[in-house]
Amino acid sequence: MSPTKERIAQLAREIHAETVETRRHLHRHPELSFREEQTGAFVAARLETLGIPHQKGVAGHGVVGWIRGLNPEKRLIALRADLDALPIQEENEASYRSKNPGIMHACGHDVHTSSLLGTAHILKQSSNEWEGTVQLIFQPAEEVLPGGAFLMIQEGALDNPRPSLILGQHVHPSLEAGRVGMREGMFMASSDEIYLTVIGKGGHGAMPQECVDPILIASHIVIALQQVVSRSANPSIPSVLTLGKIESKGGATNIIPNEVSIQGTFRTMDETWRAEAHDLIQKIASGTASALGGTCQVKLAKGYPFLVNDEELTRSVRAFAREYLGAEDRVVELPLRMTSEDFAYYSQIMPACFYRLGVGNPSRGITSPVHTPTFDIDEAALETSTGLMAWLAIKCLEDGKYL
């Protein structure tokens, strides 16, 4: 007999204050990608206190734990949170503001980690009331290529045996606390990084005839690359090409530099078109530079794949969430997003559902987007996040469709 939603909700209420303090501790002590040593140690110590067996040092500073219920060999599912912070100087004046200069949990990974620790507490406390095993994935380095998810998979963290499905949640400031958002099927884009180095011949700005102007060449390349999406992409395939940084090496009001760098991103939701676009970017950038007398070195750093939510699993998770939250309007449908997430790697190898946790509260002025220095959350969301994920885990174990 599995626990009722009232029992799970009661456990979430009982640990809410602890979950808030855990989140605040993590928020005070953020660490950048691949440097989450203290964060990983904190998670491992908390799992030790809860009596949850775990492995440290996975893919750097990641931690993997296992909560075994009745008949633990019967079913295995995974829950994921990420550990790393961003290189942003926090501007909030809260008592729990970051103590590490220039580093901030501006993407809510402190929320994800504290929530999964709270969920672990609930699942451990109720482990004699459900069947199967829940694997906890505390993943490092979501923010930096190649991504901690890729490395955890590469190191075999989800093998022997592989979970039958995986769930993850992510903060969503535009959604009010107490609500969650979901989408079946294709959800988030792949993400690749573009690095171009345009090389010309510098000289005096008053004598351009003696130079090969890389700034002019770079300008033509920026314009020419817009046709990758506007004229080469199938309009039915979501695609974005953005060039976000142009910088000359040297140069002044009267000096033409030797070199200009351009950096940007390409995102889409189709792997065949993704490869074709990479080839077009290479040809257009190199060809444009050559036609104007210069050269262009092209580096394309292939990033995260697209994220796809298994349709059947997501329909089930949506129904379970509505059952737990008690009202249909507390589970909303989300649009496609051209942002990316390394959770996508998990979605490529097993049924996955990545959903959004409402953390906003406009009446209290809690509306700042992620990746901004004023991002914060309504901590009431931490009661929803812990209880809901525990409930989803138990219901997915009970459902058993993905065995």
CATH code at position 45: 3.40.630.10
Task: Point out the domain boundary residue: 244, 269, 301.
Answer: 301
What is the CATH number for 237? Answer: 3.30.70.360
Q: Give the pLDDT confidence score for residue 217 in this predicted structure.
A: 98
Shared domain check, 322 and 270: no
Which of 23, 19, 26 minimizes the C-alpha distance to 85? 26
Query: Which one-letter amino acid corresponds to residue 93?
Result: E
Task: Point out the domain boundary residue: 241, 276, 301.
Answer: 301
pLDDT in tens, 232-283: 999 999 999 999 999 999 889 999 999 999 999 999 999 999 999 999 999 9
Q: Which pLDDT band, with edges at 50, 70 and 90, does 403 fall under? A: low
pLDDT in tens, 123-139: 999 999 999 999 999 99
pLDDT in tens, 18-66: 999 999 999 999 999 999 999 999 999 999 999 999 999 999 999 999 9
| 43 burial via Cβ count (<10 Å: 0-12, 13-18, 19+) | buried
Mean pLDDT (the chain) is 97
Q: Which pLDDT band, with edges at 50, 70 and 90, does 402 fall under? A: low
Shared domain check, 228 and 331: no
Q: How far apart are CA 35 and CA 239, in angstroms?
A: 32
pLDDT in tens, 254-265: 999 999 999 999
Pairing of strands 62-68, 133-139: antiparallel
User: Can you read off the two tokens belonging to residue 70?
Assistant: 């009745």
- Tell me if 259 sits within 8 A of 199, measured CB to CB: yes
Q: How far apart are CA 331 and CA 345, in angstroms?
A: 25
Shared domain check, 169 and 34: yes
Strand partners, 198: 260, 296
User: Within 13 A of 187's CA, how many CA atoms are on the CB side?
Assistant: 26
Mean pLDDT of 96-117: 98
Residue ranges of E strands in 85-148: 133-139
Shared domain check, 125 and 30: yes
Which of 291, 279, 277 minimizes the C-alpha distance to 217? 291
Total domain count for the chain?
A: 2
Shared domain check, 352 and 206: no
Shared domain check, 93 and 29: yes
Q: Give the pLDDT confidence score for residue 328 in this predicted structure.
A: 79
At residue 159, the 3 state secondary structure works out as: coil
Q: How far apart are CA 266 and CA 196, in angstroms?
A: 13
pLDDT in tens, 279-324: 999 999 999 999 999 999 999 999 999 999 999 999 999 999 999 9
pLDDT in tens, 334-381: 999 999 999 999 999 999 999 999 999 999 999 999 999 999 999 999
At residue 122, the 3 state secondary structure works out as: helix
Shared domain check, 173 and 51: yes
Residue 18's domain comprises 5-188+305-399
Task: Point out the domain boundary residue: 254, 269, 301.
Answer: 301
- List phi, psi (to 5°) of 98: -60, 135
Shared domain check, 175 and 70: yes
Shared domain check, 271 and 202: yes
What single-letter DSSP state applies at residue 399? H
Task: List active site positions.
Answer: 84, 142
Shared domain check, 145 and 78: yes
Shared domain check, 294 and 370: no
Tokens 């204050």 belong to: 17
- Tell me if 287 sits within 8 A of 279, measured CB to CB: no
Shared domain check, 11 and 90: yes
Radius of gyration of the CA atoms of the chain, in A: 24
Mean pLDDT of 190-211: 97
Q: Kindly give the residue spans of alpha helices, DSSP state H, lying in 103-164.
A: 109-125, 148-154
